[in-house]
Amino acid sequence: MKKAFIILLTTVMATVVSAQFGKFTPGQKLRAAEQFVANYYVDTVNEDKLVEDAIRGMLNELDPHSTYSTAEETRELNEPLQGKFSGIGITFNMNQDTLYVIQTVAGGPSERVGILAGDRIIEVNDTVIAGVKMKNSRIMKMLRGKKGTEVDVKVLRRQAGQPDDTVAFTITRDDIPIHSVDAAYMVDKTTGYIRINKYALDTPNEFKEAFKKLEKAGMKNLIIDLTDNGGGYLNAAVELVGELIEKGKMVVYTEGKNSPRYENFSNPSGRKPLFTDGRLVLMVNQYSASASEITAGAIQDWDRGVIVGRRTYGKGLVQRPFPFPDGSMIRLTIAHYYTPTGRDIQRPYEKGDKKKYAQDILDRLNSGELMHEDSVHYIDSLKVHTLVKGREIYGGGGISPDKFVALDTTHNTKYYRNVMAKGLLNRYAISYVDAHRKELTKRYKNDDAFVADFEVTDEMLAELVEMADKEKVEFDQEQFDTARPLFAMIVKALIGRDAFDDQTYFKVYNTYDPIFKEALRVINSDEYDQLLNP
C-alpha cells in the first residue's frame, strides 16, 4: 500500500510539473530539482549550500580554471589585485601565537600613531589574541575594516635594558597599498633588477616608478623576475609589455567559441615606451603563470629579450567574472590566450579531471623535466618562428625558456624541509632581530652593507638546531651539513627582511638563486646576442 502511494504521488507530481512547464530546458530542470528537494525532502536542508554545491559540481566538469567563490572568497581573491585594502598598515608574522610586527607601512595608520617594528600586538578591541592559537584569518578580519573606522590595540614593547612595556593605541584605519613590485635595485653598475609578484591594477605604474629610479642610477640593461608570479589582470600585462617593445605591436590575442578574436596591442595611444633598446632578460619558472606568460610570450615572439629559467605553468585560459547579488561569483573560462605567433599558452587538460591537472608540476619533477634540459620534449607540429629573427620556438603549453636552468635540489634535505615546515626559520629570524635590532641598524648603515658583510655564524645555526630539537625535529648531522648553505642563506635573508625591508630578502636570495645567477651571466655576456641570433 505504501509503495503504491509513493508511486502514485510521484506520478501525480510529474504530471503536474509537465503540465505546468511542458518540456524542460536544462536550466528549468536544474531549478525544478532544487525546488523538489527544498519543498519535499524528508529533512531540513540548507538551500544555499545545495545551490552552491550544484554550481561547483557543474563547474568541476569543465576546465580546471572555471570556479565558484563565496562572497568572502571573492573579496579575498580580488583584494590583492585591486591594489589596496583598508587596515592598520603593518607587515606581521605570527611567532609562537603572538602577532609580531615586522614593519609598518611608511606613512600608514600604525606608523602615524607610533607602532614600531618588533612590537607585539596582544589585544584587539579588548579581545586577547596572544597565546590563544587564533587563526591568522580571524586576526586579519579584526584589524581590517572600513576606511575611517577605529580599532583599539594593546602592544607589548620590549627594549634592550628596559622592562617590558604595555602600550595602548587607537588606530584609524586607512587605505593600505598592496605592492606587486617586491624589489628594484642595481645589481651592478649597468644592470637593474625588478621583481614582480603579481599583475594588479597598479602594477604598470609601480613598474614605471621602479624603472625610472634604476634609470637614474645608471641602468642600461634590465632583469625582470617573474618567477612564482601567478599572474593577474590581462590589461596590466599588456600595458607593462608596452613599455618594453615598440608601439603598435600585438602583445596577445584572445579567442573562444562564444568570444570573437580580440587583439591587444602595445601602446595604442602612441606614447613612447620606456625601454626598447637595452638588453632584457626575463626570469621564469614552473610557477610563472597567466599574465606572466603573456609577458614572456610577447617578449620571446618579438625577439625583444631572452627568457631564462624553466617552462612556465601553462595557464592560458581567460576567465570572465559573473557576480551574484550576494557578492559570490562564478569565474567562467570564455577564451584562450594566444601569443603574437599564435601559440596557445594553455597546457593540455581533460575536462572534469582537476586532480590530474593539479599534479602536472609533480609529473614534471618525476619525469626529469625540471632537472634536465634533454628531458623536455617538443612537438614538431607545434613549432613556430619568432617574428623578427625567425628563431624556432614551440607551443604546447607554457613558455619554454631560451636558456634552461635546472632546479637545484643539492641542499634541500629532509631535515631542512622538516625545520621549514615547523616555521622555525621565521621564528629564529624574528627572535634574532628582536634581540639585535639596534646593533644591526647601528653596524650596517643600509641593506647593501648588510648583504655584503653580515654572516650567519655556526653559533647561530646551533641555536636554530636547538630550537628544532625542542620542537621534536629529529636531527641528522649529515643532512644538516648538506643543507647548511641553504640554512645560512635563508636565515640571513629573513633577518635582512625583518631588519630592513622585503627587498633585502631578494638581495640575499639572489646571491644563491641559480636562475638569477644565470640571468646575470647571460645579460653580461656574448651569449645574449647568440641566443637571439642562433
Grid cell for residue 343: 601559440
Establish whether 290 is a catalytic residue.
yes
**Considering 301, 344, 447, 498, which one is annotated as catalytic?**
301
Residue type, 479: Q
Taking the CB of residue 394, how many other CB atoms lie within 10 A of it? Answer: 19
**What is the distance between the alpha carbons of residues 216 and 200, in angstroms, rounded to a whole number?**
25
Residue 382 CB partners (closer than 8 Å, separation 6+): 343, 394, 395, 396
| Dihedral pair phi/psi, residue 459, rounded to 5° | -65, -40
Asked if residue 456 lies in contact with residue 389, where contact means CB atoms within 8 angstroms, the answer is no
Radius of gyration of the chain (CA): 27
Asked if residue 149 lies in contact with residue 173, where contact means CB atoms within 8 angstroms, the answer is yes
Taking the CB of residue 133, how many other CB atoms lie within 10 A of it? Answer: 7
Establish whether 315 is a catalytic residue.
yes
According to DSSP, the residues that pair with 181 across neighbouring strands are 196
What one-character DSSP code corresponds to residue 380?
Answer: G
Strands (E), 354-466: 383-385, 392-394, 403-404
Asked if residue 140 lies in contact with residue 47, where contact means CB atoms within 8 angstroms, the answer is no
According to DSSP, the residues that pair with 344 across neighbouring strands are 338
According to DSSP, the residues that pair with 524 across neighbouring strands are none
CA-CA-CA-CA dihedral for 464, 469, 473, 479, to nearest 10: 60
**What is the distance between the alpha carbons of residues 265 and 413, in angstroms, rounded to a whole number?**
46
**What is the distance between the alpha carbons of residues 173 and 151, in angstroms, rounded to a whole number?**
7
Taking the CB of residue 381, how many other CB atoms lie within 10 A of it? Answer: 8
Place of cell 618562428: 385
| Dihedral pair phi/psi, residue 348, rounded to 5° | -60, 150
Strands (E), 159-272: 165-172, 174-177, 181-186, 191-196, 221-225, 250-256, 259-265
Grid cell for residue 219: 641602468
Establish whether 225 is a catalytic residue.
no
**Considering 110, 290, 292, 400, which one is annotated as catalytic?**
290
Handedness of CA 510, 514, 517, 523 (dihedral sign): negative
**Considering 315, 354, 403, 507, which one is annotated as catalytic?**
315
Q: Which residues are catalytic?
A: 290, 301, 315
